[in-house]
Chain A
Amino acid sequence: MEKKIGVYICTDCEIGKALDIEKLTKVAIEMKAPVVKSHPSLCQKEGVEFIKKDMAQEGVNAVIIAACSPRVNYDVFELGIPLVERVNLREGVVWSHPANDEDTQMMAEDYIRMGLLKMQKMEAPEPYKVEEPSKNVLVVGGGLAGITAANEAAKAGYEVFLVEKNEALGGWMSRIYKQAPTKAPYAEMEEPEINNLIKEVQQNPKVKIYTSSLIEKIDGAPGLYDVTVKRNGGAETFRVGAIVEAAGTVPYDAAKITEFGFGKYPNVITNYMMEAIAAKGTMVRPSDGKPVKSVAFIQCAGQRDEKHLPYCSATCCVESLKQAKYIRNQYPDSKVYIFYRDMRTPGHYEYFYKSMQNDAGVFLTKGDVKGITEDENKNLAVEVENTLLGEKIQVNADLVVLATGMVPVSALGEEILPPGVKPGDEFIPYVMIETDILNLEYRQGGEAPALINGYPDSNFICFPYETRRTGVYAAGSVRAPMDIPSTVADATGAALKAIQCVELTSRGEAVHPRVGDISYAEFFMQKCTQCKRCTEECPFGAINEDEKANPLYNPTRCRRCAICMGACPERIISFKNYSVDMIGNMVKNIEVPEEEEEKPRVIVFACENDAYPALDMVGLNRLQYNSFVRVVPLRCAGSMNLVWVADALSKGIDGILIMGCQYGDDYQCHMATGSYLAKIRLSKVAETLDRLKLESGRVQMEQVSIAEYYKIPKILDEFIKKLEGFGPNPYKGF
C-alpha cells in the first residue's frame, strides 16, 4: 500500500504562541507531505478525531504528530496504525527555548523536516515468526533452584526438561540435616523442604527428568534451541524455547585456607562436612568419635578475603547459628563459640540470631581468629584477637567448623576473553568462563558471560533477570549467593522469564528492554565483507558466523538495540523502521546556515533510554538549552554509525555530541556495552576528521542519566563554546 503521510501540527501548550505555524506548515508542504494541517489541541478528543477523519476519508496511513514528547499521550495517539511518528515541538522546542525567536523557529522547522524524512524512510515492521516455536523450558541443574523452576514452570502448563549431572536430584539441599527457619516466628529449624519438592517434580508428568546427564551442546536460539544431552554413553536431542541455568555452587576448597589447619588437623572441618556429621545422628568428631561438646565456628573462613573469596556468601552466619543449634539440641552441656566479623542475619533471621544469643551455651563475639593449635589428643585451641571482650582469648574446642563459602559452578573453568582482548584492557566486552554447563553453540562462547566473581548475575538492580543471553536465565546460587527463600523466589522468577521469553518469541516480539518491538535486523549480505564487527560487538551473542565468517543472524536472540547496525562499516544492517539510511537522511537534511550567519549547528545523538528522557525533563522543567542543537534519538548510543558523523560534518554541521548511558564497571547502558562501543567508535573517528581536515574535538561523548537532566544545558553550552573556538566548519555551503 502506498504511504500517504499526514502531518498534524498542534498549536496548544504554547506551541502556537511561540512558533510561526504557517511557516512550519510550509516546510512540510515543501517536503511534499500530501496532508499538512494544524489543530488547536490534538491530544483532546476532537484532535484525535480530526486525525482519524483524515485516515478514514483521505486515506492518510502514516501520521506525524508534531506536538508534545512521545513520552506523554502515548495512549491518546494510539491510532491503530504502525506508522506514527512524534515530532517533539513542546518539550523539545518551545518549553526549552525562547518564544518567537528565529533560532527556535529554525529548530522546529528542522524537526518537522527530520520527522518527515524519517517517516518517508520508515516501513511498517512485520514480526519475525518462527514456525512452530517450542515453548518448552530446559532447566539445567536439579538442586533447589532447578527443581523449583521446573515445578513452577510446569504448574503454569509448560513442558520442562530437567537435566542434572548427578545420579540423584536435590543438590546441596539434599545433604543438609535441617534448614534454617523460613517461617514465623523464625526461631525453629525446619525439615528440609527439598524432599517434598523432589517428589513433586518426579510426579509431574510435564517434567521430563534426566539424571546423570550432561548438556553436550545447545544449538539455536529462543524458541528453537536444540539441546543434546549425554546420558549413559548415549545422546538424546530435544527442542526447547528457553533455558533456566540453575547449576548451583560448590564449596570453596578449604584446603586452600591453610591458616586454620584444615587438612592438617582432623577435627577442623567445614560447614558442609558438619551437615553430614549432624545427619548421621550422634554428633562426634572425626579423629576419635568423641561427642563434640565444645565447638568453635570460624565465620568468613576464606571469605571477604582477597586471598580467597573476596565476597560474602550471604548464608554462612545463619548456617553456623543453625549448626550451633544442632549441637546445643543434642548436648545440653555443650558450649558453642561463634567468632564472626559481622553477624549477618538480615531480615527475619534476626529472630533466630536473637534466640541463639539468649542461649547461655552459645558464646558469640566479633573477633579475628589468629591461629589454631592441636594437642596430642587432637583437641584444638583457637586463639582470637580483637574480641568484644577487649582482649585476646583462647578457646579449647573438640571441633572447629570453618564457615567456608560457595563458588558458583559457572566460575569453574578457564576464563577466555574475546579475540583481541587482553586482561586489563580498558574495555572488556564480556568475560566468558568455559565450564561445560550450557555448551551453547554461540560464536561468543558457550556460556552466559560472568558478571562478578564468576557469577552470571544481572548487572541491573531494577532488572535482576536482565541477561546477556536472550532466553537464558540464571537462577539460584549460581547467579549470586543466596539463602533458601531467595533461591525459591529467584527460581520461580527465572521460570517466569523463560515462559515470557517463549511467549514473546512466539509472537515475534523482542524481550526486555525493547520488549514488544517487532522490528528485527535485516542483512544485505551481498555487500558483507566478513569483517566480523557485528558478530563481535553484539552484546547478546545474537550473531553466529559460518566458516567463511559470514554473519548468521538469529532474530529470536536479538534485542533490537541495533548495535550491529552501528558497527557495520558497509551499512548492510537495517531495520524496517530504523536504518543507517534513515538517520543519515535526517542528518543530511538539517538546514545549515551560511557561515556569516553565525548560527552553528550541533547534532545530539541521544540514547532513547536515558538521554532522550533527560532532554525531555529539561523541557518539562522549563530549563533552556541552546537552540543550535538538533536532537536525534537513537535506540542505543551503540547503534551510532560513524557514517552519520562523516555525513554531518561534510554537510557543515559544526559538532556532534553523543549522549549515552554511563559505561565502565557500573555501566548503566541497558544494552550492556552500547555506550562504551559508541565511545570507542568515536575515538576512532579522528581519522575521518583528519581526512576532512577538522578538529577531533568537534565530536564528543557525554554520559548522561535521566536524573542528570539539569546538567544538560551546561554540557551543551560548553560544547558549543568549544566549537566556537574551532570556528565554523569549513564545509558549510559545499
Chain B
Amino acid sequence: MAAEKTKGILVVGGGISGITTAVEAAEVGYEVTLIEKNPYLGGRVAQLNKYFPKLCPPNCGLEINYRRIKSNPRVKIYTSAEVEKVSGAEGDFDVTVKLNPRYVNENCTACRACVDVCPIERPNDFNFGMDKTKAIYLPHDFAFPMRYVIDDKVCKKAECAKCVDACKYNAIDLNMKTQSLSLKAGSIVWATGWKPYDAKKIDNLGFGKYQNVITNMMMERLASQNGPTKGNIIRPSDGKEVSRVAFVQCAGSRDENHLPYCSYICCLASMKQATYVREQYPQAQIFIFYIDVRSPGTRYEKFYKKIQQDENIKFIKGKVAKIEEDPATKDIIVTAEDTQTLQKIHEKVDLVVLAAGMAPSTQESKIPSSVSYDTDGFITSNTGVAGMSAAGCAVKPIDVYSSAQTAAAAALKSIQSLVRR
C-alpha cells in the first residue's frame, strides 16, 4: 500500500529527530522531503563530542543515517531552507519553502581552494564563537552535505570575488538569490529542536562576564577534535590547562525565573563531560553542584554509579548561589550551600561549566501554522492540527534515544495521515 500514495511527508528540522523521522518513513516506502535551516544536517547532536552513557561519537550514528539518506531515493533534502507558509489540510498541505542562498552549488568538490583566498573572517557559530572561519566555509568537517557555504552577512560579494576566481569548478555563484519552493505534502512533522538557554540571562552565574565560565554546549565543542581547540580542554581566558572544574547543574532549569522545567539531559551531560576532563587530566578535580541527580532507568543509573566511583569527582548537593572571578588569575570562585551538611562552600576552580538547559526553538520563533504550544513554547504532543505531528525536543526536553523513539512514532503518525486520505 505504500507506493501508491503520491503525496509525501514533509519533515521540518534536520537534527537527529527530523533525520530519523525522514529515513524511517522513507524506508517504509513513502516519499519524504526534509527541510533544514542550517546549511548542514545533524543539528545539535552534530555539535556533541560524545553521547552519554556509552561515550560513543554522535558522528558514527549520523554517518549511518546519512548513508540511509544517500541510498534512499525517496528522501529529498533541502538545507539552508525554512518553511514560510503552510496552507491546506491533512492529506493536502501546500507548503512554501524559502531556500536561502548558499552561494555554492553542487559543483563544489570540497577542495578548499576558496578558503585559502578568502580575506574575511567570521565568528564560527558552530563552535559558539570560540574560533573563526572564513566568510566561505565548511560548516564542520563531518558536514552533510559536504559542501561549502558563504556567510552573506560578512562576504563582500562582487567587490571581492576572489573565491570565484579560485574555484575551478564554477561552484561559486555570488549572485545566487533567495528562492521560493512550493511543495505538496500529505502530512507534516515538526522536528524543530532546541537551542541552549541563553546563559547570559542568569545574572548570578557570571556567564558572558567571566571568560572562564562556559556552557555545557561550549564544553562539547572544546572537547571535540574538530572543535576550536582540537579537543584540548583549556581555559578560554589564557589557554591554560585545567585542574579544577566545577559543573553547575540546573543553570536556568528548574527555575521559575528562567526555565521552570527540568531539561532532563544536563545531569548526564555533566557526568559525561566530567569524563572528558578526567581523561585529559588524570589529576583533575571535578565538582558537580546539583539539586537532584537525575539518571533514570537502567543504563543512566549504571553510568551515574560508575562516575561516583571516581574519587576525583565530587557531587555536592546544593544550588550555586554566586560565581565570582579572581581578577588577577581569572580563576572562578563558586559559592554554594551544601544542603546535606548545611555548610557554605567556596571552591576556587579554573573553569566553570554551566549545565544550561534546553529551550525549544519554538520559544521565540513560532512555526507558520496553527499548532498549539505549552507555556514554555514547546509544541504540545497533540499538535491540535490534523496531519501534523511533532517529534523530539520540539515537544519536550529529552535525550537522543527518546528523540529517536518519538521520531519513529511521528513517522507512523504521518503515514497514517496519508493512508486515511
Which residues from B are CB-within-8-Å of A156? 412, 415-416, 419
11 CB contacts below 8 A, A to B, read A71-B70, A312-B298, A347-B262, A388-B339, A390-B341, A455-B298, A461-B400, A497-B408, A500-B27, A621-B141, A666-B54
B380 touches which one: A183, A390, A488, A513 (CB < 8 A)? Answer: A183
**B161 close to A (CB within 8 Å):** no
B261 touches which one: A347, A495, A666 (CB < 8 A)? Answer: A347
**A689 close to B (CB within 8 Å):** no
Instruction: Give A548 to B364 CA distance when docked, in angstroms.
Output: 67
Contact B298 A43 (CB under 8 A): no
Contact B298 A503 (CB under 8 A): no
Instruction: Give A507 to B127 CA distance when docked, in angstroms.
Output: 43
Instruction: Give A457 to B110 CA distance when docked, in angstroms.
Output: 40
Instruction: Give A68 to B29 CA distance when docked, in angstroms.
Output: 30
Contact with B along A160-186 (1 / 0, CB 8 A): 000000000000000000000011110
Which residues from B are CB-within-8-Å of A152? 409, 412-413, 416
Known: A344-B296, A489-B405. 17 other contacts (CB 8 A): A71-B146, A342-B293, A346-B264, A347-B397, A348-B396, A351-B261, A458-B401, A462-B65, A462-B401, A465-B404, A482-B297, A497-B408, A503-B28, A503-B29, A512-B68, A705-B56, A707-B225
A617 touches which one: B49, B106, B141 (CB < 8 A)? Answer: B141
Instruction: Give A351 to B68 CA distance when docked, in angstroms.
Output: 39
Which residues from B are CB-within-8-Å of A348? 261, 374, 396
The 9 closest A-B CB pairs, nearest first, are A462-B61, A493-B408, A707-B57, A492-B409, A184-B374, A496-B412, A314-B296, A342-B292, A311-B298
**A721 close to B (CB within 8 Å):** no
Which residues from B are CB-within-8-Å of A354? 260
Known: A72-B110, A343-B292, A503-B29. A461 touches B401 (CB 8 A): yes
Contact A347 B29 (CB under 8 A): no
Contact B51 A461 (CB under 8 A): yes
Contact B60 A668 (CB under 8 A): yes
**B1 close to A (CB within 8 Å):** yes
Instruction: Give A620 to B1 CA distance when docked, in angstroms.
Output: 42
Contact A312 B301 (CB under 8 A): yes
A158 CB to closest chain B CB (Å) equals: 9
Contact B342 A496 (CB under 8 A): no
Contact with A along B34-51 (1 / 0, CB 8 A): 000000000000000111
**B72 close to A (CB within 8 Å):** yes
**B64 close to A (CB within 8 Å):** yes
Across the two chains, which residue of chain A brings its CB closest to B290?
A342
B253 CB to closest chain A CB (Å) equals: 8
Contact A706 B60 (CB under 8 A): yes
Which residues from A are CB-within-8-Å of B68? 512, 515
Instruction: Give A610 to B67 CA distance when docked, in angstroms.
Output: 12
Instruction: Give A621 to B341 CA distance when docked, in angstroms.
Output: 52
Contact B109 A347 (CB under 8 A): no
Which residues from A are CB-within-8-Å of B20? 462
Which residues from B are CB-within-8-Å of A662? 56
**B371 close to A (CB within 8 Å):** no
Instruction: Give A511 to B72 CA distance when docked, in angstroms.
Output: 13
Total chain B interface residues with beta-carbon distance under 8 A: 87
Contact with B along A481-524 (1 / 0, CB 8 A): 11001101110111111011001100100011101100000000
B52 CB to closest chain A CB (Å) equals: 8
Which residues from B are CB-within-8-Å of A488? 409
**A595 close to B (CB within 8 Å):** no
Which residues from A are CB-within-8-Å of B169? 12, 41, 44
**B183 close to A (CB within 8 Å):** no
Contact B404 A463 (CB under 8 A): yes
Across the two chains, which residue of chain A brings its CB closest to B23?
A515
Known: A486-B402, A617-B142, A710-B225. A495 touches B412 (CB 8 A): yes
Contact with A along B261-278 (1 / 0, CB 8 A): 111100000000000000
**A464 close to B (CB within 8 Å):** yes
Across the two chains, which residue of chain A brings its CB closest to B56?
A668
Which residues from A are CB-within-8-Å of B1? 157
| Residues of A bordering B, CB below 8 Å | 12-14, 41, 43-44, 68, 71-72, 74-76, 78, 152-153, 155-157, 182-185, 304, 310-314, 340, 342-351, 354, 366, 386, 388, 390, 452-453, 455, 457-458, 460-465, 480-482, 485-486, 488-490, 492-497, 499-500, 503-504, 507, 511-513, 515-516, 609-610, 613, 617, 620-621, 661-662, 666, 668, 670, 705-708, 710
Contact B294 A496 (CB under 8 A): no
Contact with A along B58-77 (1 / 0, CB 8 A): 11111111001011110000
**B111 close to A (CB within 8 Å):** yes
Contact A504 B27 (CB under 8 A): yes
Contact A312 B408 (CB under 8 A): no
A204 CB to closest chain B CB (Å) equals: 13
Contact B56 A490 (CB under 8 A): no
**B107 close to A (CB within 8 Å):** yes
Contact B142 A349 (CB under 8 A): no
Which residues from A are CB-within-8-Å of B51? 461-462
Which residues from A are CB-within-8-Å of B29? 503, 507
**B385 close to A (CB within 8 Å):** no
Which residues from A are CB-within-8-Å of B420? 155
Contact A666 B110 (CB under 8 A): no
Of residues 384 through 421 on chain B, the ones whose CB sits less than 8 Å from some CB of chain A are 396-402, 404-409, 411-413, 415-416, 419-420
A666 touches which one: B28, B56, B262, B407 (CB < 8 A)? Answer: B56
Which residues from B are CB-within-8-Å of A304? 301
Across the two chains, which residue of chain B brings its CB closest to A711?
B225
Contact A366 B409 (CB under 8 A): no
**B317 close to A (CB within 8 Å):** yes
B419 CB to closest chain A CB (Å) equals: 5
B369 CB to closest chain A CB (Å) equals: 18
Which residues from B are CB-within-8-Å of A613? 63
- Residue among B142, B341, B380 facing the most chain A CB atoms (10 A cut-off): B142
Which residues from B are CB-within-8-Å of A486? 402, 405
Known: A342-B292, A349-B262. A462 touches B405 (CB 8 A): no
Across the two chains, which residue of chain B brings its CB closest to A342?
B292
**B2 close to A (CB within 8 Å):** yes
A609 touches which one: B55, B63, B109, B419 (CB < 8 A)? Answer: B63
Instruction: Give A310 to B302 CA distance when docked, in angstroms.
Output: 8
Instruction: Give A346 to B262 CA distance when docked, in angstroms.
Output: 5
B412 touches which one: A452, A499, A507 (CB < 8 A)? Answer: A499
Contact B109 A13 (CB under 8 A): yes
Instruction: Give A489 to B260 CA distance when docked, in angstroms.
Output: 24
Of residues 17 through 35 on chain B, the ones whose CB sits less than 8 Å from some CB of chain A are 20, 24, 27-29
Contact with A along B288-306 (1 / 0, CB 8 A): 0000111111111110010
Which residues from A are CB-within-8-Å of B398? 347
Across the two chains, which residue of chain B brings its CB closest to A622?
B112
A480 touches which one: B57, B62, B298, B380 (CB < 8 A)? Answer: B298
Across the two chains, which residue of chain A brings its CB closest to B70?
A74
Contact A347 B396 (CB under 8 A): yes
Which residues from A are CB-within-8-Å of B309? none
Which residues from A are CB-within-8-Å of B146? 71-72, 620
Which residues from A are CB-within-8-Å of B70? 71, 74-75
A463 touches which one: B2, B61, B300 (CB < 8 A)? Answer: B61
Contact A666 B416 (CB under 8 A): no
Contact B28 A480 (CB under 8 A): no
**B99 close to A (CB within 8 Å):** no
Contact B63 A610 (CB under 8 A): yes
Which residues from A are CB-within-8-Å of B329? none
B417 CB to closest chain A CB (Å) equals: 10
A13 touches which one: B111, B317, B396, B416 (CB < 8 A)? Answer: B111
Which residues from A are CB-within-8-Å of B109? 12-13, 43, 68
Contact B72 A516 (CB under 8 A): yes
Across the two chains, which residue of chain B brings its CB closest to A502?
B28
Instruction: Give A493 to B411 CA distance when docked, in angstroms.
Output: 8
A675 CB to closest chain B CB (Å) equals: 13
**B375 close to A (CB within 8 Å):** yes
**B16 close to A (CB within 8 Å):** yes
B301 touches which one: A14, A311, A457, A492 (CB < 8 A)? Answer: A311
